Structure 1
């Protein structure tokens, strides 16, 4: 870990970690979470949510919500994704999560290479932060579990697409169902498969 990041983590207590889930799928909102962990209640085995089983993510998500000093989950909906583009919608969801935290962080550390505007504290991006910064790992878990729950709601509303299986990603099954039924209101019209379907 680079020295200045290590100094930040050592010097400040209220560090908000921020991560997103759902940039790549063809449907549904993009989610972001911000988490300020409690140094007095460390959570063991925090890591990038993609490296955890769904069951383990759910267990850790409940622990994070119970033990963190503060946390918030926010999203940008399908309409906002189509209006703004997925990058700007993701940054908007991150901004919302940070602004709605119940306490003000000293610093905000964001997974990736882009920092949203109008954050409540100084901020920096951390490449592969979900593997380096526990608060970002925690945020990745909350964002991913929230996104998965949203996919289950979409499945209940539109069962013909199989959102419970592919979680909105462009799998063979999803593309087959899209070709069969056309897009539903949750499909992102600005994404190529849906845009191409509409143009055909």
Structure 2
């Protein structure tokens, strides 16, 4: 039996339509204006969001430090009501997950990624998830791609990485991974580009045969 190829998929900007999420605007909308200076410092100087995404803070710790009185409810509200699943992904996944090993490769707070998987019923499609908040490294660091290849025990040339960030794709290419830009943000890219999951479906057979 021929070995399955690996499809590495980003969450935000690919599976979820919002390419950078919506959490910072969400937070400023939920606190009074007199709190905005404090929040700006928390994001830009204390790097609380980055620390949560790197696994230095869990979701509850992160949200509590921002001043949310009920961190668990805040997480559910934000992820459920302010992010949009690309419904085409479900069509694409049903067509392809038996043929390819789907692996999530995402910069995210660990608990948030788990919640999104459960909320949208994504677990059935994915062999594995590699989340920055779990492994303490993030895209576009070269080491996360080296880790991914070693952890999955796959050859880089047998992997295709789909992301909406050219910077992330360039780092993956340096590791020998094939790349596809999911064009949410109209970035310039010299490699393969798709605008939706129907185009990705059409591209895959030619790309990894």
- Do both share a fold (TM > 0.5)? no
Structure 2 length normalisation: TM-score?
0.31
More relative contact order in 1 or in 2 (CA 8 Å, sep 6+)?
A: 1
